[in-house]
Chains A and B, each alone.
Chain A
Amino acid sequence: MAIERVGSKVIKFYVPLAAYLIFLLFPFYWMVNTVFKSDSELYNLDLNPFYIHSPTLHNIVRLFTETIFLRWMANTFFVAIMATLISLVTSLLAAYAIQRLQFKTSGPTGVAIFLGYLVPQTILFIPLAHIVFKLKLWDSLWALILTYPTFLIPFCTWLLMGYFKSIPKEMEECAMIDGASRIKIFRRIILPLCLPGVLSAGIFCFTLSWNEYLYALAFISSTAKKTVPIGLVTELVRGDVYHWGALMAGALCASVPVALVYSFFVEHYVAGMTGALKE
């Protein structure tokens, strides 16, 4: 009986979970696998491709010496953090106003912000390019910092609106009677209570800005100002020659910060996404 139950759990739970994990993690494995192989080993079809026969750090050394990878990392960090900050501050204020101040057009404003999110980036980058050019931000990191919020703010605003909704209105009213101003209520009551929501929104902004490709490709041209995703692809793919080893080394190094951010905040992230406010 007990064995049957264990067996059924293995089939219903562990086998699908394992299959899913393999599906998800295989690209990472392939990435790591490629980083530590020499070119000769990589292109030798007689060897087992799943195993590293003679490990080497050559690809990593190449990445750091032959490209300005660290500069790209610094650019990406700067852009991601600034875009995240701008988006968070704006979304927090927008979501609070829409959800709590109850002005006449609060509903339509919420919907309008959401509609903005539905315009595909591939269409939006054409008018945005024009604006960026007019503002003389072409080939500047600020072009990215100011355009990323166009897709970050709508999502964050909606996420935070859901979060604010879960905070009982009476709590604010009580604080109001207690003598707190709107700003104080926001800072002392609302913000601490929706910290998980703010964190999830922050993680969302950071990862999306970190991985963004299209705007970075369209608005940046000089090598020194590129972000990691663009730098790797434009500098390590030369014509039809793919420097697989260095490319993968770059991808691996670039995914480490995002993985770290996630692992630190994963619990808050889940709580934030489900909008759970535990009293």
Chain B
Amino acid sequence: MAEVRLENVCKHFDEVVAVDDFNLSIQDKEFVVLVGPSGCGKTTTLRMIAGLESITSGDVYIGNRLINKLPAKDRNIAMVFQNYALYPHMTVFDNMAFSLEMRKTSKDEIKQRVQEAAEILDIQALLLRRPKQLSGGQRQRVALGRAIVRKPEVFLFDEPLSNLDAKLRAQTRLELKKLHERLATTAVYVTHDQIEAMTMGDRIVVMHDGFIQQVGSPLELYDRPANKFVAGFIGSPAMNLFEAELNKTGDRVSLRAGDFTLELPPEKAKHFQDYTEQKVIVGIRPEDFKQAAEHSPGKTIPATVEVVEPLGNETYVNVAAGNVTLTAAVGRRTVIKPHSSLNLAPIFENMHLFDIRSEKSILCN
């Protein structure tokens, strides 16, 4: 049993606030991903759990133990670093055996446990090599092996895939996920890559400027982003975000942005009563556009195609509608030429609106 609990955790580096009032409870065996742009405090949070960074205020618990003052070695955690941090002068076996050796495990047990871990990761053939004789992917596995050999209560991962090429990264992502299922150990994973976060996490914690922006399952974050930041950060290509004015004429509520007006369906419109005659931020995901044969005022956005990006499985078009630039996903084999005109019909049910000042989702409030 190892749940991890962070209560009101803050970290200050002199005047700079790296993490502010961080509250999170991670269940036993859960895979939680901390995601956010660089400098958002995700790695600092992980390092505080690991004991590599002191905690300015707040409490961190592993299981029911308060570990604020506990040295890293006594926290029963294992960490995989971005640059793997393998000991270059030791063989793979010695690298994996190091932590057991430090804990005075018997030689026979060390041997058996390293073998076991090596089998799980399929690196038995590499045990006598040194790190410099290994490829990036193999080093990554050894780093993982070094972590699992100890059978810790919590795994901490600090962007472990960012040094791998794209193909290997996708493959290792899957393997990590399988490994987590097999070992059933609590894991905290830090990444700046939202695809990694979406594919691997049971729950995702989106961070920005030291604050938690939203915590939720991957699809919760995707479907109901709590604020503009999460909306723009989760999803690739990013959600289209633009300013519009909410107008009410009679019963009809419409959004006016640049050259076009969108009329909100009544069931959607009722949420926005307080915002009439005000500016809001509209968010529409690229796949939430349909292509319309002709322009229908209030329902479609007339636009001019600027760039076409055929990816094979999907084609993305960048269009300009007045001073608003949008990205839309249009079927995989749609033939569209740059500079041609295109009518985009947004799916209103999936549209998001954000308060322009607080940037919070109006629906989620």
A193/B88 contact (C-beta < 8 A), A173-B81, A179-B103, A184-B102 known: yes
Closest B residue to A278 using CB positions: B132
Proximity string of chain A (159-203) to chain B, C-beta cutoff 8 Å, 1 when within and 0 when not: 000000000101101111111100010001100110000000000
B131 near A279 with CB under 8 A, answer: yes
A174/B88 contact (C-beta < 8 A), A180-B102, A279-B131, A279-B132 known: no
CB distance from A178 to the nearest CB of B (A): 4
B85 near A170 with CB under 8 A, answer: yes
CB distance from B150 to the nearest CB of A (A): 8
B52 near A173 with CB under 8 A, answer: yes
A176 near B85 with CB under 8 A, answer: no
Q: Which of B51, B83, B132 contacts A177 (CB 8 A)?
A: B51
* Chain A residues whose C-beta falls within 8 Å of the C-beta of B85 in the assembled complex: 168, 170-171, 173-174
Which of B72-80, B212-220, B259-267, B314-322 is near enough to bind chain A? B72-80
Among A193-225, those with CB < 8 Å from B are 193
B275 CB–A CB distance under 8 Å = no
B99 CB–A CB distance under 8 Å = yes
* Chain B residues whose C-beta falls within 8 Å of the C-beta of A177 in the assembled complex: 50-52, 72-73, 75, 77-79, 99
B98 CB–A CB distance under 8 Å = yes
CB distance from B187 to the nearest CB of A (A): 15
B89 near A178 with CB under 8 A, answer: no
Binding site for A on B (CB under 8 A): 50-52, 71-73, 75, 77-79, 81-83, 85-89, 98-99, 102-103, 131-132, 146, 150
A-B contact pairs, 16 of them (CB 8 A): A170-B81, A170-B82, A173-B50, A176-B71, A177-B51, A177-B77, A177-B99, A178-B99, A179-B102, A179-B103, A180-B73, A188-B98, A193-B87, A278-B132, A279-B86, A279-B88
6 A-B pairs closest in CB distance:
A178-B99, A179-B102, A170-B85, A179-B73, A174-B85, A170-B81
Binding site for B on A (CB under 8 A): 168, 170-171, 173-180, 184, 188-189, 192-193, 277-279
User: With A176-B73, A178-B102 given, can you name 4 additional A-B contacts, CB distance below 8 Å?
Assistant: A177-B79, A179-B99, A277-B88, A279-B86
